Amino acid sequence: MQPTELVADTICRTVELGVTITGAAIGEAFTHIECRPVVEDPMCPSCGHCGKLRDHVTRTLTDLPVVGHPTRLQVRLPRFVCEQDSCAVSVFRQRIDRVAAPKASTTRRTARWILHCLAVEKMSVSAVAKVLGVSWDVVNSLALSTVHNLVHAQPGHLDKVRVLGVDEHKWKHVRGQGDPSFVTVIVDLTPVIDGAGPARLLDMVAGRSAAALRTWLGARDQAFRDRVKIVSMDGFTGYHRAAKDVLPQARTVMDPFHVVHLAAEKLTVCRQRIQQVTLGHRGRSGDPLYGIKRVLLTRKVLRTDKQKARLEAVFADEQHIDVEVTEHLYQDLVAAYSDPDKRTGKLTMFKTLKRIKSGVPAELAELAQLGRSLWKRRKEILAYFDTGASNGPVEAINGRLEHLRGIALGFRNLDHYILRSLIHSGQLRERINAL
């Protein structure tokens, strides 16, 4: 190998492909790099005998850009004649599987580079396609096939999963399509619980039902199902039922956000009802209850003196007693979750749930309904204080997927959307680097 070839191979890293550069040229759109295999291999792929050199052919492959310019490898390959009469192959060319897959138009390292750009550098498919000088479809197809192999074909993808997070996600906003526009999002929360890293999107399943989650869990092997110890979710009973059916040993946890959100909804409905009873119309600027709608949902420790004074003034009116009582229970739920001592917080939560499970006056309809709903799910609510599992990271991934859909101006194919979501939120960095 000449010194100039060695320098060129080092710069373009063709040595790692098993080829060496023999020449180069700059075209109007591409940088063309001529190369040949470092070692000639005349072995017949069919019978294993050495063939006789016949001629050479050139195979053109898309490779990594050089200094930001699209590159084409012109690989000059020897062709051989197999002289074995019993062999079904008469003419064959040297295989370069290390460089590219059979019949592929891109090098193997290009697929890894594309995935790195999309998942790590957060580049768009169009931007990557422009740098490589190929079509959008080529880049997209390579990325999706590589992700599919990373996530579904490689063993060990689910080996360390002990804590699952489950939530629904609306993947396309089209009127009148109902559940087909929803998916069930399944997230690995184990790294969050262990303090080892962020949550990881595992998969997305069409539909939002017990059947959707049950089918996904049932498709996993028994070792995985036995390993899962905690499943965090919102208040949807379908997910709870599916988890209990397939993972009887796992503890189901109702996410704190959804518990507090449910209480906040009841507090808002109570305020709106009293607003209608006292003033006969919806809230308007200047109405007492309308003026405290945000203050009611603010934690006590975060309220300013001005907000406290405004709240006291409104609660001084006996007509607003229902709102005051409901607000106190809402604050008790929040205080239980925010208690630094989980044991004390759990006891506070249990006492609060027990206090409102029955015996609430008929006038406090919203509070009574809240009490019945939360008491039915008390085991899952209290389980949070023992496990610390929360669906917060799942909601964060949902938010990132909303952003992804907005960047893409929407998706039409669910399989495509699922794989793109795995690229975006599947924590594939280490696996990409290992390719």
Tens of pLDDT, residues 175-203: 655 557 899 999 999 999 999 889 999 99
**Residue 147: its pLDDT value, please?**
83
- Phi/psi of residue 30, nearest 5 degrees: -130, 160
Q: State the average pLDDT for the chain.
A: 89
pLDDT in tens, 271-326: 999 999 999 999 999 999 999 999 999 999 999 999 999 999 999 999 999 999 99
**Residue 45: its pLDDT value, please?**
86
Q: Which residues contact 210 (CB under 8 A, 6 or more apart)?
A: 238, 239, 241, 242, 245
pLDDT in tens, 93-109: 999 988 998 889 999 99
Distance CA(45)–CA(310), nearest Å, equals: 85
**Residue 18: its pLDDT value, please?**
86
Q: Is 407 exposed, middle or buried (0-12, 13-18, 19+ CB in 10 A)?
A: exposed
Distance CA(148)–CA(142), nearest Å, equals: 10
Return the number of other C-beta atoms located less than 10 Å from residue 410's C-beta.
Answer: 12
Residue in the structure block whose two tokens are 């919806």: 282
- Of the options 3.30.1050, 3.30.70, 3.30.420, 1.10.3470, the CATH number for the domain spanning 163-255+390-433: 3.30.420
pTM of the model: 0.75
**Residue 103: its pLDDT value, please?**
87
Residue in the structure block whose two tokens are 């898309």: 62
Q: Of 351, 340, 435, 433, nearest to 388 (Cα)?
A: 340
Positions of the chain with pLDDT lower than 50, given as ranges: none
**Residue 433: its pLDDT value, please?**
63
**Domain-by-domain residue ranges, the chain?**
1-100, 106-154, 163-255+390-433, 256-387
Return the number of other C-beta atoms located less than 10 Å from residue 235's C-beta.
Answer: 18
Torsion angle of C-alpha atoms 263, 266, 271, 276, degrees rounded to 10? 180
